[in-house]
A and B are shown apart, each in its own frame.
Chain A
C-alpha cells in the first residue's frame, strides 16, 4: 500500500493513495501526477531499435522537463530582440545601427538578430515547444474524454488515511444515509457512484477541461497568426488636406503584403482628407504645445455607394471594406509654386515635410528635375510658430501654424534622378549639386512666409509659398487573423481561470451500522491539484449531511 503522503496533497498534485488515484498514466512521466518512477537498476540496457529510439525521443520531447526547458529558453531567446532594433518595428533604427556598427551588424545579420522573432533559431524553439505541447495534450484529451464518461473510482478501504477525515453518527439506517449523501453530493454537482455501503463522488472535471482548452487555444493563436496573417497586408500613405488616395497598389508610399496576398484582395475605395484638426495645450504652463487631440475629417467613397463623411482619430481607426485606417502621424506640406524666368508655372504642389521636433519644426526637400535651365534641389526648414534662439537661429516654439516661416537653401546641378536608381524623396543628396543660395554661397538663404514670392538665384525664375496645408500619414491594415486570435485569446483566458481555480476533488461517504443500531458515517476527500479549501469542504459537507439526517453530532 502506497498511502504514504496524503498530507501532501493539499499543496499539489502529488497523489495520495495509489489504490485511489492510480496515477495519471497519460501525463508525462515526470509530471507530479504521473506514477512515481520505479527505482532504476543498473542492469545493462537493451539495445534500442529505430522505433525504440523514436519512442525514446518522443517521450523526451513531451516530458515536463523538456517543456519547462523550452519555455525558459524561449524567454531568454526573446531578449536579444529587445536590445537590438528590429526590422519590423524599427527599420530606421536598423539602418542607423548598420551605419554605426558595420562589423557588429554583420555578425548580428548572420544570426538573424535584426529579425529575432522570425529567425530560424527563435522559430525552432517555439515550434519544438508547440510540438511538445501537442504531444502532451493530445493523449490527455483522450484520457479526459474517457474520464468524463467513466464513473468515480472505488471507495478506498481506509478513509481515515485521507484528507479531512471526519465521522458522524446517526440513528438512520445505512441505505437511507448513503442515499441522502448521494443526493447532497449531486446537488453540489458531484458525479456519484455507489459501491456497497459507500458513495464515491468526484467533481471539478472543468479543471482539466480548462487546462486542455488553454493549451489548445495557444495552438489556435499560433496557427491563426501564422496562416491568417499571411492573407493580410499593411500599406502606408501620406495624404495632404484637399487630396485623396485610392486603395490600390500603385497609390501606396509603402506596402507590405502577407505571404498569400494577391492584388485582387485590395477593395477599391478612395479616401479624401477634407481637413485635419489638431488641438494643442494652451493653458498648462508645463505642457504648452503638447498635442491633446488629433482629428482627421475624411470623405470615403466605396465603389457603388454614396460618399460618406467620417473621422479618424488616434485610438479610433476607421473601418472601411474590411480594412482599418489608422491615423499615425501628421505634419505640414507647404505648397510651393515655382515659375521659370518667363513666368511660366513649372511646379506647384504640396511637399510633405518631416517633423524633427515636438513643435513640428520640419525639414522639406523639393526636387525640380525639369522645366528650368538647371535641375534644382531645395532644402527647406519649416517653423510653424517661429521663434529666435539666443544664437540667432530660428526655431519652432509651438506646433500650430501661428507665424510660419519657410527657409530654403537652393542647389543646382545633377539631382541624380536619371540613373534609374530609386532615391529617397525625403533626402537631398548634394554630392553633385552646388549651393546657389544658403549658408555657403553668395546668395542668402531664401526666407518665405505664406504669400511671399522670391527670385531664385542666377535668374532661374521665382519661388512662391502659396499656402501651408497639413498632411496625415495613414496606415491601412487588413488582417483576417484579428478576430480568430481574439476569440482564441478569450478561450485561453477562460481556460486558464478554470484550470487554476476550479477545485478538482474526490469525496467519499461510507456508512456502517453496529450491533446497537447506531450508524457511523465516515467522510473523506482527496485533492487533485491545488485545492486550498478541501478540508473545509469535507467538514461543511458532513455538517449539512448530518443536519439533513437529523443526527446527533458525534461527541
Chain B
C-alpha cells in the first residue's frame, strides 16, 4: 500500500511541476504584456497631451473649452484601464497555479497517507510541504490584495525548490525515529513552514519595492511593467504586513521548538546550529521591524533587511540542514 501512495504522490508532484511551469511562463507573458501596454500607454499619453494642447490651442480660437477637457479625460481613462482589467494570460496563469496547487496538496496528502504520519519529517517532505504552503499563502493573500504580479517569482521559486527536492533530497518513506515522535512535530514544523510562506511573499514584494524605488528615483530601469505595479511605499506597506505575520509565527516556532527541545533533549536552549540560525533569522526580522520605525531606515534599507532575512531562511533550510553538524539531523540524507 505504501508504495502505491508514494507513487501517487510522486505522479501528483511531477504533474504539479509541469503545470507550475506553464503558470510561470504565463506569468512571465503577463509581465511582458504589462511592459508593452505601459509603453503603449505612455505613447498614447504623449499623443493625447499633444492633441489636447493642439485642441486647446484651437480652443483659444473657438472660444470653447469642451474639446480639450474631453481628450484629457479619455487619455486618463485608458491609463487606469491597464490596472483595472485583468487580461487572459493573467487569468490563465492563476487558473494554472490553482490547478497545480491542488495537485501539489494532493501530493502532500498522498505522502502523508503513505507514511501514516505528517508529511514533514525529512528534507524531501519539508520541501514538498513548505512549497505547498508558500503557494497556498500566495493564493489566499489574493483575496486580500491583488498580488498576482508576484506569480512568476513565486512559481519560479517553488519550481526550483521542488526540482531540487525531488532530485536531490528524495528519500523513501521510513518510520519516525523516537526523537520525532511528538505532537510538537506537527505544530512546530508546520508553523515554521507556514511562516516561510509569508516571508517568501514578503521578500518578493521587497524585491519589487527596491526595483520600483530605483525607477521612482529616476534611475533608468528597462522594466516597463513596473509602471503597472503599485508604488514603492505601497509595496513596502504590503511587505511589512506579511512579514509581521511571518514574524509572529517564527516567534511561535522558536518558543514551541524550545518546549520540544526540553522534552526531547533535556534542555530548552542549547545553541544547536539550527537553534542558532533560527535565532539569527528572528533577530534579522526583529531588526527589520525596528528599521521601519527608525528615521532614515524606512524604505530601501529595511527592504534589504527583509531580503537578507529570507536568504537566511533558505540558508538555514539547505546549507545548515545538509552541512552543519547538530541535533536537528533529520534531513534523511
From residue B279, how far is it (CB to closest CB) to chain A in Å? 6
Q: Give the docked Cα–Cα distance between A489 and B257 (Å).
A: 12
Closest residue on chain B to residue A72 by CB atoms: B287
Which of B44-52, B151-159, B218-226, B234-242 contacts the other chain?
Answer: B234-242
Is B233 among interface residues, defined by CB-CB distance under 8 A? yes
Query: Is B65 part of the contact surface with A, judged by Cβ < 8 Å?
Result: no
Q: Choose one: A292, A314, A475; the contact of B175 (CB below 8 Å).
A: A292
Which residues 68-126 of B have a CB within 8 angstroms of A? none
Q: What is the CB-to-nearest-CB distance from B108 to chain A, in angstroms, rounded to a whole number? A: 20
Q: Is the CB of A31 within 8 A of B271?
A: no
Judge whether A12 is part of the interface by a CB distance below 8 angstroms: yes
Q: Do B178 and A314 touch across chains, with their CB atoms under 8 A apart?
A: yes
Alpha-carbon gap, A551 to B271, bound state (A): 64
Residues on the B chain within 8 Å of A532, using CB? 241
Tell me which residues across on chain B come within 8 A of A479, comparing CB atoms.
267
A1 to B176 CA separation, bound complex (whole angstroms): 67
A83 to B237, CA, bound (A): 36
Is the CB–CB distance between B265 and A485 below 8 Å?
A: no
Per the bound structure, the CA–CA distance linking A82 and B315 in Å amounts to 12
Interface centre among A11, A34, A67, A530 (most CB of B within 10 A): A11
Residue pair A89, B178 in contact (C-beta under 8 Å): no
CB distance from B195 to the nearest CB of A (A): 13
- Per the bound structure, the CA–CA distance linking A490 and B295 in Å amounts to 31
Are A315 and B233 in contact, CB atoms less than 8 angstroms apart? no
B248 near A500 (CB under 8 angstroms)? yes
Whether B163 sits at the interface, judged by CB under 8 Å, is no
Other-chain residue from B236, B265, B294 in contact with A31 (beta carbon distance below 8 A): B294
Contacts of B291 in A (CB 8 A): 68
Q: Counting CB contacts under 8 A, is B18 at the interface?
A: no
Tell whether, in the assembled complex, residue A32 and residue B295 are in contact, meaning their CB atoms are under 8 Å apart.
yes
- In the complex, the answer to whether A67 meets B290 with C-beta atoms within 8 Å is yes
Whether the pair A64, B290 counts as a contact (CB closer than 8 A) is: yes
A197 within 8 A of B: no
Residue B255, interface by CB 8 Å: yes
Chain A nearest CB from B132 CB (Å) reads 24
With beta carbons under 8 angstroms apart, the residue of B173, B271, B287 that contacts A68 is B287
Q: Does A316 contact B (CB under 8 A)?
A: yes
Chain A residues, Cβ within 8 Å of B292: 12, 32
Residues of B within 8 A of A293 (CB): 178, 181
Q: Does B182 contact A (CB under 8 A)?
A: yes
A485 CA / B255 CA spacing, docked (Å): 10
CB pair A90–B294 under 8 Å, yes or no, is no
- Check A11 against B240 for contact (C-beta < 8 Å): yes
With A32-B294, A287-B174, A290-B174 as known contacts, state yes or no: A234 contacts B268, CB within 8 Å. no
Query: Complex formed: what's the CA distance from A365 to B273 in Å?
Result: 32
Complex interface: chain A residues within 8 A of B279 (CB): 78
For the side of the interface on B, what is the size category? Answer: 35 or more
A286-B174 contact given A90-B325, A314-B264, A317-B266, CB 8 Å threshold = yes
Query: 1/0 per position for B252-282, CB-CB distance to A under 8 A?
Result: 1001001100111111111111001101100
Q: Which residue of the partner chain, among B266, B276, B320, contacts A328 with CB atoms under 8 Å? A: B266
Interface 0/1 of B200-236, CB less than 8 Å to A: 0000000000000000000000000000000001101
Asked if B63 CB lies within 8 Å of chain A CBs, one says no
Give, as a whole number of angstroms, the nearest-CB distance from A326 to chain B: 4
Interface of A is mostly: mixed
Contacts of A284 in B (CB 8 A): 2, 173-175
Is A75 within 8 A of B233, CB to CB? no
**Known contacts being A13-B293, A81-B276, A497-B248, is A71 close to B283, with CB within 8 Å?**
yes
Q: Which residue of B lies closest to A66 (CB)?
A: B294
- Known contacts A81-B271, A89-B272; decide if A286 and B259 are in contact (CB<8 Å): no
Tell me whether A540 is interfacial, beta carbon within 8 Å: no
A30 touches B296 (CB 8 A): yes
The interface residues of chain B lying within 8 Å CB-to-CB of A497 are 248
As a 0/1 sequence over residues 140 to 182 of chain B, the CB contacts with chain A under 8 angstroms (1 = contact) are 0000000000000000000000000000000011111111011
Asked if A530 meets B325 with Cβ closer than 8 Å, knowing A75-B287, A86-B271, the reply is: no
For B258, B287, B293, B305, which residue has the most chain A Cβ atoms within 10 angstroms?
A: B293
**B29 interface residue, CB < 8 Å from A?**
no
Find the B residue at minimum CB distance from A27: B293
Q: Shortest distance in angstroms between A425's beta carbon and chain B's nearest beta carbon?
A: 23
Give which listed residue, A90, A93, A493, A530, contacts B255 with CB less than 8 A.
Answer: A493
Chain A residues, CB < 8 A from B255: 489-490, 492-493
Most buried by B among A78, A83, A89, A290: A89
On chain B, the residues within 8 Å of A85 by CB distance are 325
The answer to whether B178 and A79 touch across the interface, beta carbons within 8 angstroms, is: no
**B264, closest chain A residue (CB):** A315
Interface assignment of A168: CB less than 8 Å from any CB of chain B: no
Nearest Cβ on chain B to A150's Cβ, whole angstroms: 23
Q: Establish whether residues A64 and B293, one from each chain, have CB atoms under 8 Å apart when the complex forms.
A: yes
Q: Is the CB of A500 within 8 A of B175?
A: no
8 nearest A-B residue pairs (beta carbon): A287-B174, A314-B178, A11-B237, A326-B266, A286-B172, A64-B294, A75-B283, A82-B276
28 pairs from A and B in contact (CB 8 Å cutoff): A12-B293, A30-B296, A31-B293, A31-B295, A68-B291, A71-B283, A85-B325, A89-B326, A117-B271, A234-B267, A286-B172, A290-B174, A290-B177, A291-B177, A291-B178, A292-B175, A292-B177, A313-B178, A314-B179, A315-B179, A317-B263, A317-B266, A324-B266, A479-B267, A482-B262, A489-B258, A530-B241, A532-B241
Known: A34-B295, A486-B259. 9 other contacts (CB 8 A): A68-B287, A71-B283, A75-B280, A78-B280, A79-B280, A290-B174, A293-B178, A493-B255, A500-B244
